[in-house]
Amino acid sequence: MPASKVIEDAAQAIGAEYRGKKAGSAGDAGTFSFFPTKNLGAYGDGGMVVTNEDRIADKVRTLRFHGCREKYYHEEIGQNSRLDELQAAILRVKLKYLEEWNTSRREKAKIYDRLLKPLAAQGKITLPANDPEAKSIYHLYVLRSKHREKIAKALDEQGIASGVYYPLPLHLQKAFAYLNYQAGDLPLAEEACSQALAIPCYPELTTDQQEQIGQVISSVF
């Protein structure tokens, strides 16, 4: 049996750390997304694979370029996954600000933690976990609540966006029906999908806006 490899999905986590190690560096390879909504977002699709293993780097370079090491000579079936130059240029400029934006998101998260603490203490909502060994970059600030739909509706009525990431766990997705999982098989994942609600979190968000969001959420209860 070939030795197994760990690929860390760090799509949402660029700049985050756990025990002083950057997200994406824990496994044999790490993957990042530059989808426009991400903390480091391009103006179109893009992504990155990082690794310290030459063999993996070589394999990924080959796969992203139609399976070629040498142009027009296809060693295997790959795909066109080269990072578009225009996106690369945009990302290169934005990269300089990433640390500052991530710090700002952490500050926004702290403000939400403070504003929403009373509701959490009453058991109405659950706040994102704060692991002292982790440094989150809060790509999203995700609450959990049995009253998610009511909260989302109240926010929407005030013109405030919220999002559900994600509504259906992988084991219940049609694409994986062949694995024969049933509802109830992974209760924690299913519960997370039924309760998670991301509220606005981005560097430009003002404290006034956060206070308004806090008030709207409180008004539900």
Ligand X SMILES: Cc1ncc(COP(=O)(O)O)c(C=O)c1O
Q: How far apart are CA 192 and CA 172, in angstroms?
A: 13
Give the residue at shortest CB distance from ligand X.
Answer: 33
* Least CB distance to ligand X at residue 81 (A): 10
- Cα gap 105→18, rounded to integer Å: 17
CB of 165 to ligand X, least distance (A): 7
Interface pick for ligand X out of 12, 39, 102, 162 (rule CB under 6 A):
12
* 9 in contact with ligand X (CB under 6 A): yes
Both structure tokens of 194: 């039924």
Cβ proximity to ligand X, 101 vs 212, nearer residue:
101
Q: Which long-range contacts (CB under 8 A, 24 or more apart) does 130-134 make?
A: 131/18, 133/18, 133/19, 134/16, 134/17, 134/18, 134/19
**One-letter amino acid of 84:** D
- Minimum Å gap between C-beta 34 and ligand X is 7
48 versus 115: smaller Cβ distance to ligand X: 48
Rounded to the nearest angstrom, the gap between the alpha carbon of residue 70 and the centroid of all alpha carbons in its chain is 35
* Distance (Å, whole) CA 46 – CA 35: 6
Region of 4-12, 16-24, 61-69, 177-185 interacting with ligand X (CB under 6 A): 4-12
Residue 33 C-beta: closest distance to ligand X, Å: 3
Q: For residue 166, is the peptide bond before it cis, meaning its omega torsion is within 30 degrees of 0?
A: yes
User: How near is the Cβ of 137 to ligand X at its closest, in Å?
Assistant: 13
Of the residues 41, 47, 67, 163, which one makes contact with ligand X according to CB under 6 A: 47
Minimum separation from the CB atom of position 24 to ligand X (A) = 12
Using CB under 6 A, count the residues that bind ligand X: 7
**How many of the other CB atoms lie within 10 Å of CB of 67?**
14
Residue 170 in contact with ligand X, rule: CB under 6 A: no
Task: Assess 36 for contact with ligand X (CB under 6 A).
Answer: no
Which of 1, 26, 24, 6 lies closest to 14 in space, CA to CA?
Answer: 24
Q: Which residues bind ligand X (CB under 6 A)?
A: 9, 11-12, 33, 35, 45, 47
